[in-house]
A and B are shown apart, each in its own frame.
Chain A
Amino acid sequence: MKATTSDTPANRSPGLEPVLDGDADTDRGVPFIIETSPATIEPGAEIVMTAFVAPEHAQALFHATVLFRDADGAPIGRAPLTDARGGALRSEPVERVAPDAPGSHAFSAVMEGPGGEVLGKQDFCVAIAAHPIALTLWDVPHAVEQGAGFQVTLGIKCPCGCMAEGWAFRITDSAGQIVAEGQTGHDPWPGTSGLYHATVALVAPDSLGAQDWTVTALVPDHPTPHIQRSLPLHLNVQTAPEVTLKVLAVDAETGAPVPRARVVVHPYRTFTDAQGRAEVRLPRGRFTIFVSGPPYFAFKTTGEVKDDMSLTAEMYVDREFTDADAWA
């Protein structure tokens, strides 16, 4: 549970005070109202609760504190009342993590006097939206060759703990045409606890350049309502490589080869080997070439690649902050 003392709920203007009911309810004690924000609360997201007391009841609750309770009656936060505009009182906002279960939750609040005596009670509803779906997409090739096949991996997870095994997804191209459909598999991705995944074989379009397809995790057939989630699939469609760029990465000062330097010739990328060498197959064209990796400044050059060519990247050590700069 988080607790902070921020001043104003996020979705409310600081100067806008609610209209308060001035009639006392003998069963409920001194009346007050509770405001929650935001209006639509996602499962597990932040909920901000604030109590307001009308001016005519301020005297009765001047030294009171408000105690919030969740749907199970468990106390979840307490806040003192402070002066608000026009003689009214308001509590410090109490921020908490909302429940995971979608639907309406009956929370309550109690005004307590300095000795713990109950001065007023109020019930209020917290409406939790349907579960979101987390969608992740990886192993997308940095460049795909026009008309060629390629693979991507996608993962689906319900952040609220619903098991996403066998949940359906769809991939559509930039024209909205379905290019693939499928379901997640039976096991979570290694290293994760609930990210169910699938590897999808796709075919690159013939048109060159950047294209955004869409991956959509569909609403599952599940007792708990969920909200569909989409993610762009960025494709960089290129012609078949024609030339080879050979890169040698060396330390500018010592001349020693730099192994495992990253060679990025957008959108193509690779690493140098133990001898500091790398090869990148490219279509002819103009490229910016980066060679980088700790502890070096990134080497950068831009130029036209017309034929097979070689490049030596002299890399300079990025001066770390030394003792001389720092301590002493």
Chain B
Amino acid sequence: MTDKRSIDDQDFKEGSLNRRDFFRVGAAAGMTAAAAAVPGTVMAQTSETPDGTIHWDYEVDVVIAGGGCAGLTAAIRARDAGASVLVVDQNYDLGGRMLHSGSYLSLGGGDAIQLRDMAGAADAEGFITVPPAEDPPELDDNIELLFTDVTDWSVVDAKAQSPYRYNEREMMRAWAENCPPTRQFLMDNYVRFTRISGTHGGGGLSRARAPYCFLMLGDRTDIEAGTITAEDAGVADPERTSPFAPVQMEDATSFVGPNAVRNGVALARPLEYSARKKGVMFILHRSFNDLIRERPFDGRVLGLTATYSPRVNPDTGIRLESFWQLGNVDDRREVLNIRARKAVILASGGHAGNPEVRSMFYPALRDPAFPTSGSALQGSGGQDASALKAALKIGANMAGMQQNLSYPTTFHISSRLGTRDAYTDMMPGHPTFVFRKSTGVAVGNAGFEEFIAVNQVGKRFFNEVRLPKRPGANRYPGDGAAPGQGLDHTPLDWRNCSAEWIRKSYTYDHGLDAAVALNEGSRAPHYYSGPLWAIFDQDAIDRTGWEIRFPYVSEENGYYFKSDTIDDLARQIYAGHPYSRVPLGHLSTTVTTWNGYVAAGADPEFEREKDAPMYAIAKPPFYALSIMVIWHDSYGGLRCNGRQQVIDMQGVPIPGLYAGGEAVGGFNKHGLGKGHVQGFIAGTHAAREL
């Protein structure tokens, strides 16, 4: 295993900022004596202290809220330009959702990896030994084509939504122009890219633009050498995740060659390593609350306030600690005021983890029973709309809020059952496993024919086998609704969205919408739809071989139950699930009715017999696994210009305030490509502020 302090002080000194300068004002617990300089105050006009004074606990050039894909990229970029940088993050470790992402990083515009693969070349280190996955014409890209792709009005997806039409044009232009330099920037900071294979959702239909990030399995974890141990990668034991990699890394042989592994670990950890080495400082366990502006709706943004929000193991009472600690500032005071001499960059994520904010778009998903993806890793402060809330208080505008509904998989039903954090397959071994207690049972789409799905009162609500179906995203080469894709795609062609074509391509099943609909248990004032359950019997276990054991399920977390009878099962769920608000009073009748349908070979309620065989639920014991609706990510957010400056309600940039990633709206692109480039742009311009 890698030593938690493997970035030693020698590494740190070179290129690091002056610690004395960093701590020029304020005193922090855990600082070294040399770093604890004279405490002091800075005079400032703030919206909260109209008398004109505020105590600043820290002062740096650039303060960044959030240490994920946008935040870390912005931090390194600003630090490279000579700025002192402090990142504030609510979690115990860095990386945000990037850390457990798939690392599928769609950029383009003729970036370095497109050019490399077009030439059939290997990477500089010679790790890549497989030929390109895409033909050169599919990689022949340029900024104009990329800009056209991501603003193409004519593309309509399989949900009859327009993924590109409503993107902010100035921001998209800047994004397209900065894709190639961002790719190079990431490569310069120890990120290694596989062969390009396809393009990510929202990244355009015309060209292949997305590789994964990889590391090579080796006998030690060495970011600079590009190696990682099997233990750190989580591949040494199929039922153990490492603290280094919250999601076990995947085999990347087909995109790189033997012994290559891929996922967000190969992206997040190198960036974190680089940032720490270059002298970026971090305050973890601290939620960003508010921005401090000279006047409530006028003047510069001076800094931010952040509250201590430790992530503590509920079983041991011990605070979690980041894998690496170099550059960490351990300050446990309740509230800190942090001044940004140049700028604040908001990169604290979106609002998918905030049921009240996301319900702005779909009231049925106000139910906190359903989390955002990666909730165990992120904790309750993840994707909590902090950037949106804070910026709105000082006059910021929003953009693309409706785009939450126009990405086809913003919310969906997971085929991983029996865990609250149903989006990832974290195993024991990671410090945040304790917050989920079960990995979940991955049944796949086909597994939905093995059970009936019931709502909080025990009633079926939809054809089960159609619940996990998801419409494809419109992307190269993809399975979205565009009539022509890749080289066959004609951008800006009206035929792409003709009514005849949309009728032909529409494939949305609306199963999720039935899942979160009002039912007999929905009560005022929220009318929550409540949790969902897969109900099955011992025969289903015998048919499928599902492993109903720890770590896949837990008898402690309320997301798995086993009983002698269906009546008992209903009671157990009601008593034991944290979001079970009403009894499953209909469950027994539902199962009896279902067994009658199976005997008759027909399901008059939902016509299951048209899609798949049906099985009786009869042989004890009986089982219930939670079915989770996941609001994956969010697309609406703060309105920004091409420099990623946050724009106010008058259309004017708010001085000293930038944003990137999911905090930003107006760009209906899924995943990392948006965050990294926006972080790159924001970091560039923030460092240039006077």
Cα distance, A115 to B412, chains bound together (Å)? 49
A224 within 8 A of B: no
With beta carbons under 8 angstroms apart, the residue of B200, B525, B618, B671 that contacts A138 is B618
In the assembled complex, B181 has its CB within 8 A of some CB on chain A: no
Take A44-B571, A195-B565, A324-B104 as given contacts and tell me if A269 and B613 are in contact as well, using a CB distance cutoff of 8 Å.
yes
Binary A-proximity of B516-529 (CB < 8 A = 1, otherwise 0): 00000001110000
| Given A4-B581, A323-B104: A328 touches B210 (CB 8 Å cut-off) | yes
Q: Name A178-217 residues within 8 Å CB distance of B.
A: 188-189, 191-195, 210, 212
Chain A nearest CB, measured from B470 CB (Å): 6
B444-486: CB near A (< 8 Å → 1, else 0) gives: 1111010000000000000001000010110100010000000
Contact B600 A234 (CB under 8 A): yes
The reply to whether A295 and B612 form a contact with Cβ atoms under 8 Å apart is no
Task: Scan residues 230-249 of chain A and give those whose CB is less than 8 A from a CB of chain B.
Answer: 231-232, 234-236
Chain B 528-583 interface residues, beta-carbon cutoff 8 Å to A:
537-539, 543-544, 564-568, 571, 574-575, 580-583
Contact between chains at A295 and B446 (CB < 8 Å): yes
Cβ-neighbour of B612 out of A4, A191, A292 (below 8 A): A292
Beyond A2-B575, A232-B596, is A324–B565 a contact (Cβ under 8 Å)?
no
B407-466 residues at the A interface, CB under 8 angstroms: 409, 412, 415, 423, 443-447, 449, 465
* Interface pair A136/B565, CB less than 8 Å apart: yes
The answer for the CA separation of A132 and B102 in the assembled complex, in Å, is 51
Instruction: Assess whether A8 is interfacial by the CB under 8 Å rule.
Output: yes
Whether A320 pairs with B445 at a CB distance below 8 angstroms is: yes
Given contacts A290-B613, A292-B613, A294-B446, contact A327 B472 (CB under 8 A): no
Least Cβ–Cβ distance between B549 and chain A, in angstroms: 14
How far, in Å, is A97 (CB) from chain B's closest CB? 7
A294 to B101, CA, bound (A): 25
Q: Which of A136, A293, A324 is close to B446, meaning CB atoms less than 8 Å apart?
A: A293
Cβ–Cβ contact A155 & B101, under 8 A = no
B498-524 near A? 1/0 per residue, CB < 8 Å: 000000000000000000000000011
Known: A7-B525, A293-B446. A138 touches B612 (CB 8 A): no
Q: How many residues of B contact A (CB 8 A)?
A: 74
**Complex interface: stretch among A74-82, A83-91, A259-267, A275-283:** A259-267
B458 to nearest A CB, angstroms? Answer: 13
B444 touches A134 (CB 8 A): no
Q: Are A318 and B446 in contact (CB under 8 A)?
A: yes
- Chain B interface secondary structure, helix, strand, loop or mixed? loop
Interface residues on A, range: 35 or more
Residues on the A chain within 8 Å of B423, using CB: 326
A155 / chain B contacts, CB cutoff of 8 Å: 564-565, 620
Interchain CA distance A327-B537 in the complex, whole Å: 33
A328-B446 contact in complex given A264-B613, A298-B611, C-beta closer than 8 Å? no
**Which residue on B lies nearest to A156, using beta carbons?**
B565
Closest to A212 in B: B596
Closest to A152 in B: B618
Once the chains bind, are A232 and B582 in contact (CB under 8 Å)?
Answer: no
In the bound complex, how far is the Cα of B524 from the Cα of A100, in angstroms?
29
A305 to B575 CA separation, bound complex (whole angstroms):
50
Q: What's the nearest-Cβ distance from chain A to residue B671, in Å?
A: 4
CB-based contact A294/B544 at 8 Å: yes
Q: Is the CB of A132 within 8 A of B612?
A: no
Within the complex, the shortest CB–CB distance from A131 to chain B, in Å, comes to 11
Chain B residues within an 8 Å CB radius of A7: 523-525
A298-B469 Cα distance, complex, nearest whole Å = 14
Our pick among A193, A264, A326 for the contact of B102 (Cβ within 8 Å) is: A326
The answer to whether B596 touches A46 (Cβ under 8 A) is no
Q: Which of A8, A189, A267, A300 contacts B599 (CB 8 A)?
A: A267
B-chain residues with CB within 8 Å of residue A159 when the two chains form the complex: 565, 567-568, 571
Contact B264–A325 (Cβ < 8 Å) = no
State the CA gap A326–B100 with chains docked (Å): 11
Task: Please tell me if A45 contacts chain B, counting CB pairs below 8 Å.
Answer: yes
The listed residue with most A CB atoms (<10 A of its CB), out of B103, B567, B582, B611, is B567
Decide: B575 and A262 in contact? CB cutoff 8 A: no
Distance in Å from the Cβ of B610 to the closest Cβ of chain A? 8
Give chain A residues whose Cβ lies under 8 Å from the Cβ of B210: 324, 328
Quick check: B103 and A325 within 8 Å, CB to CB? no
Once the chains bind, are A2 and B580 in contact (CB under 8 Å)? yes
Cβ < 8 Å to B, chain A residues 277-314: 288, 290, 292-298, 300
- Known: A138-B620, A298-B613, A327-B97; 4 extra A-B contacts, CB below 8 A, are A134-B567, A266-B613, A297-B446, A298-B446
Interchain residue pairs with CB less than 8 A apart (9): A46-B574, A136-B618, A139-B619, A142-B599, A234-B600, A235-B599, A266-B609, A294-B447, A328-B104
